[in-house]
């Protein structure tokens, strides 16, 4: 396995070469003016029919800042929360949203991660 530590915007990704892209908690740290570029980057990386998995803040998990506030405050406030319709809208440009649900919180004994202030999204590249 190859691990790289760098900004997603600096990655040299071969177009159409990935079956799956998984984002655990990065998208909600992407500032609004880079959002479309991020969606395009994920889409470009995936093969047609490839899957995108996302864990990101629901409204109650995020800072509560509107896009404009990010620039007024010069801060993301720890990450942006997304309403369901907004998240669908963003990821429906080149994807079909297959699953969008509140993340489950598994029992402590399970050893699994999950928090109900997060969305779990699975989308497929069209």
Residues contributing to the site for ligand SAM (CB under 6 A): 7-9, 24-26, 29
Least separation in angstroms between residue 6's CB and ligand SAM is 7
Q: Which secondary structure element, helix H or strand E, spans residue 58, and what is its range?
A: none
Query: Could you tell me which of 40, 8, 5, 4 has the C-alpha nearest to residue 26?
Result: 8
Instruction: Using the minimum distance from each CB to ligand SAM, give the nearer residue, 40 or 126.
Output: 40
Strand-by-strand arrangement of the 46-57 sheet: 18-24, 46-57, 118-125, 95-102
Q: Which of 26/51 has CB closer to ligand SAM?
A: 26
Q: Considering the complex, what minimum distance in angstroms separates the CB of residue 106 from ligand SAM? A: 15
Question: Using alpha carbons only, what angle is made at residue 48 by residues 42 and 49, rounded to the nearest 5 degrees?
Answer: 95
For residues 22 and 49, which CB has a smaller minimum distance to ligand SAM in the complex? 22
């Amino acid at each position: 396995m190859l691990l790289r530590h760098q900004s997603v915007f600096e990655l040299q990704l071969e177009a159409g070469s990935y079956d799956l892209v998984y984002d655990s908690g990065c998208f909600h740290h992407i500032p609004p003016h880079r959002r479309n570029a991020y969606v395009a980057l994920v889409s470009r990386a995936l093969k047609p029919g490839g899957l995108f998995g996302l864990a990101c803040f629901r409204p109650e998990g995020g800072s509560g800042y509107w896009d404009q506030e990010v620039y007024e405050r010069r801060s993301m406030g720890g990450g942006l929360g997304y309403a369901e319709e907004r998240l669908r809208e963003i990821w429906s440009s080149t994807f079909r949203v297959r699953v969008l649900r509140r993340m489950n919180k598994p029992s402590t004994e399970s050893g699994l991660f999950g928090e109900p202030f997060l969305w779990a999204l699975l989308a497929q590249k069209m």
